[in-house]
Chains A and B, each alone.
Chain A
Amino acid sequence: MTDTRTTTGLDAIAAMFDRAKAEGRSAFLPYVPVGYPDYESSLDAVEALAALDVDGFEIGMPFSDPLADGPTIQEATQIALENGTTIRSCLEAVRALRSKGLQQPMLMMGYLNPMLAYGTEAFVHDVKAAGADGLIIPDLPPEEAHLFAESCAREGLALIFFLAPTSNEERIKLVAERASGFIYVVSVTGVTGARRDLPPDLVDYINRLRAHTDVPLVMGFGISTPDHARQVNKLLDGFIVASALIRASKQGIDPMRELAASIRQAIEPGG
């Protein structure tokens, strides 16, 4: 059994936001790096999180030189590479999760070069075939997106672009025009990593983006605690938690599950 869902990736992602909105909250998308701490454990982590009714997943594919990532994800990807994790094994993980009945959208996150080595057409085809719903490529700005845009559109996959606090009106308009699925909103200037506080001017920042687009906005970088989740809840259509979960998972799957559960609880109405 493989992917039993009948919708395209884009539809599945849209349905994810619709459901969260109907429940009066943001969508919660945890990041799980395949192959960390080992292949089986990363699959277990996705299943444990799915059981908490998270809304979707960012599935991390390792790269030797992750220049948008801070120390936590750097270390995790290094370990994943030492464990022999490749694009193929990441897609195999997605296929295995779908065959176990996982329903949530999954977006493949990775850097460009391994995808180029795989072949962009073949990669997009195999991502779709494995049952994933979109691509997140931090070193692919919209100017270079022609490498993937056509094949993603053909396969119904979302190709996610980023906006950052440094993005000016021109950039916001460009990304809004080309966006599919959602826009990944970087919370701060910086690399990924758990942080103590979210930036104070969050509302102004999001309003600035909202003025130009009604594409769903998903925030990442630094969202680490239930309190952060409460701050971004409803302000954004969704949020990604990565480094904080990886840090927690160093102590085992239970602390990771507990953190995720407390974040999930925090965005429930009245949570």
Chain B
Amino acid sequence: MISQIPYGSADVPDSRGYFGEFGGRFVPETLVPALDELTVAYREAMADPAFQNSLLDLQRTYTGRPTPITFAARLTEKLGGARIYLKREDLAHTGAHKINNALGQALLAQRMGKQRVVAETGAGQHGVASATASALLGLDCHVYMGSVDMARQQPNVFRMKLLGAEVIPVESGTKTLKDAINEAIRDWVTNVRETFYLLGSALGPHPYPMIVRDFQSVIGIEARQQMLDDVGRLPDVCIACVGGGSNAIGLFHAFREDEQVDLIGVEAGGHGVLSGEHAARFADPSMGRPGVLQGTRSYVLQNADGQIMNTHSVSAGLDYASVGPEHAYLRQTERAFYTLATDEEALEAFQTLCKLEGIIPALESSHAVAEVIKRAPTMPKDSIMLVNLSGRGDKDLGTVMKELKLEI
């Protein structure tokens, strides 16, 4: 149903990689030629019907796209307000939206003749997707993962190893996603000539935020058409969780010109903004300010001296001190709005979706569901909410059992 992946149709970023005042390319000189090379290779690939067809074919025959939208009838009934539709990225191969971008970039790596791939991962979903795409295309995959994240996402560590990837524990800093990105960049800067950096979120130096958005935009393109075909109209509200923000930008992008559709991103509120233990870059003006982290200018959780703060979220995939620059832009231009859900609210939403819909969502996606639970009852019964169920929760069972003090 998707005839082409859009390229060059959006008004951002500009040629220097800026989304308004956010984005750009703040990297050591060693990487600049590699980013230039990537920018050119990406442009050429997207203009090449053969590349587009390879990706579309894999999306259809390997990932299982299009993923369906599901009407959440019992959740809608319980909340008593807006009709709730779920975009089922949890049904994509590997269990999350991350495969959309990983396949695109892995094909690009292959086209560029780069046999060696490095990736970072937080929750492990991007690591699994990268390992999967690398296995499929015969690439040599190395995944950096914080040792704290490895402990809380063990099933995904095992998956990556089964898929033939090397998983490299990162012991520096907070041992989470941010530190894994630092190590992946250090690896890339060292082995830049033969290595492709398969970046997993809409983050990092230009052109990555654009590439990741484009490869994820299939989510919103499909969902928009499905709403028109199945429901007969566009939703009133689109909701997605925002860590780096790739699933959210993937959903939002197709709706950017539908001004009647509200776009809402949900950050990780952790133990609450006042606790200081969270990853809510937009919600905490005492710590979340524009800054530069890992190659891009965006909102960054930092102290008064500009040192990056430790973050906390029950979900590893949202546990990151910065946010994709396009989200900072969408917020500044008031095209999208951002709110948060705490650990507790996300865990509650997780259980609700399990019991009412028979769907075990990822803890990341549960943050989006938590916002649905808050917002749907306040909306009229003929209104429609579309929520991106970005991944499935099998990987989180250990964490949830521990948090809820459950035993089998």
Q: Which residues of A contact B (CB under 8 A)?
A: 63-65, 67-68, 70, 74, 81, 86-87, 112-118, 138-141, 143-144, 161-168, 171, 175, 186, 189-191
A63 to B308, CA, bound (A): 8
Residue with the highest number of chain B CB atoms closer than 10 Å, among A163, A164, A186: A164
A113 to B289, CA, bound (A): 11
A139 to B292, CA, bound (A): 9
Pick from B16, B192, B307, B308: contact of A166, CB below 8 A.
B192
Contact yes or no, B186 A117, CB < 8 A: no
Q: How far is the CB of B180 from chain A (nearest CB, A)?
A: 12
Contact yes or no, A116 B292, CB < 8 A: yes
Query: Does B378 count as interface, using CB distance less than 8 angstroms?
Result: no
Residue with the highest number of chain B CB atoms closer than 10 Å, among A67, A112, A175: A67
> Hey, which chain B residues are within 8 Å of A113, CB to CB?
291-293, 300, 302, 306-308
Contact yes or no, B307 A167, CB < 8 A: no
Q: A74-B172, A143-B16 are in contact. Are A117 and B29 (CB under 8 A)?
A: no
Query: Does B375 count as interface, using CB distance less than 8 angstroms?
Result: no
> Hey, which chain B residues are within 8 Å of A112, CB to CB?
26, 292
Contact yes or no, B173 A65, CB < 8 A: yes
Q: How far is the CB of B10 from chain A (nearest CB, A)?
A: 21
Query: Does B39 count as interface, using CB distance less than 8 angstroms?
Result: no
Contact yes or no, A168 B30, CB < 8 A: no
Pick from A64, A74, A171: contact of B32, CB below 8 A.
A171
Chain A residue, CB-CB nearest to B206: A143
A107 to B290, CA, bound (A): 26
Q: A64-B307, A65-B178 are in contact. Are A167 and B29 (CB under 8 A)?
A: yes
> Hey, which chain B residues are within 8 Å of A86, CB to CB?
305
Contact yes or no, A64 B173, CB < 8 A: yes
> Hey, which chain A residues are within 8 Å of B34, CB to CB?
166
Contact yes or no, A67 B292, CB < 8 A: no
Q: A65-B173, A67-B185, A167-B33 are in contact. Are A117 and B306 (CB under 8 A)?
A: yes
A191 to B190, CA, bound (A): 7
Q: A141-B32, A190-B189 are in contact. Are A116 and B306 (CB under 8 A)?
A: yes
Chain A residue, CB-CB nearest to B191: A189
A192 to B262, CA, bound (A): 47
Contact yes or no, A141 B27, CB < 8 A: yes
> Hey, which chain B residues are within 8 Å of A139, CB to CB?
26-28, 292, 295
Q: How far is the CB of A110 from chain B (nearest CB, A)?
A: 10
Q: A113-B306, A113-B308, A166-B193 are in contact. Are A65 and B294 (CB under 8 A)?
A: yes
> Hey, which chain A residues are within 8 Å of B290, CB to CB?
116
Q: How far is the CB of B287 from chain A (nearest CB, A)?
A: 11
Contact yes or no, B307 A67, CB < 8 A: no
Q: How far is the CB of A184 from chain B (nearest CB, A)?
A: 8
A74 to B182, CA, bound (A): 11
Interface bits B250-292 vs A (CB < 8 Å: 1, else 0): 0000000000000000000000000000000000000001111
A76 to B172, CA, bound (A): 12
A162 to B289, CA, bound (A): 28
Q: How far is the CB of A226 from chain B (nearest CB, A)?
A: 26
Query: Does B25 count as interface, using CB distance less than 8 angstroms?
Result: yes
Q: A166-B34, A166-B193, A171-B33 are in contact. Are A67 and B186 (CB under 8 A)?
A: yes
Query: Does B24 count as interface, using CB distance less than 8 angstroms?
Result: yes
A139 to B193, CA, bound (A): 20
> Hey, which chain A residues are within 8 Å of B292, CB to CB?
112-113, 116, 139
Contact yes or no, A117 B304, CB < 8 A: yes
Q: What are 22 A-B interface contacts by the 8 Å CB criterion?
A: A64-B307, A65-B182, A67-B182, A68-B28, A87-B306, A112-B26, A112-B292, A116-B290, A116-B291, A116-B292, A116-B306, A117-B304, A141-B29, A141-B32, A162-B29, A162-B30, A166-B192, A166-B193, A168-B33, A171-B32, A175-B29, A189-B189
Contact yes or no, A118 B189, CB < 8 A: no
> Hey, which chain A residues are within 8 Å of B31, CB to CB?
166
Residue with the highest number of chain B CB atoms closer than 10 Å, among A116, A138, A162, A175: A116
User: In B86-135, which residues have CB < 8 Å from any A CB?
Assistant: none
> Hey, which chain B residues are within 8 Å of A166, CB to CB?
29-34, 192-193
> Hey, which chain A residues are within 8 Å of B16, CB to CB?
143
Q: How far is the CB of A250 from chain B (nearest CB, A)?
A: 18
Chain A residue, CB-CB nearest to B179: A65
A189 to B189, CA, bound (A): 6
State the 9 A-B residue pairs at the shortest beta-carbon distance, nearest first: A117-B306, A114-B306, A162-B29, A164-B30, A190-B190, A64-B307, A64-B308, A68-B28, A113-B306
Residue with the highest number of chain A CB atoms closer than 10 Å, among B34, B292, B305: B305
A115 to B302, CA, bound (A): 12
Q: How far is the CB of B299 from chain A (nearest CB, A)?
A: 12
Q: How far is the CB of B133 from chain A (nearest CB, A)?
A: 25
A7 to B182, CA, bound (A): 39
> Hey, which chain A residues are within 8 Å of B289, CB to CB?
117
> Hey, which chain B residues are within 8 Å of A168, CB to CB?
33
A222 to B125, CA, bound (A): 36
> Hey, which chain A residues are within 8 Å of B294, CB to CB?
65, 67
A180 to B34, CA, bound (A): 25
Q: How far is the CB of B52 from chain A (nearest CB, A)?
A: 29
Interface bits B179-206 vs A (CB < 8 Å: 1, else 0): 0001001100111110000000000000
User: In B1-56, which residues have CB < 8 Å from any A CB?
Assistant: 16, 24-34
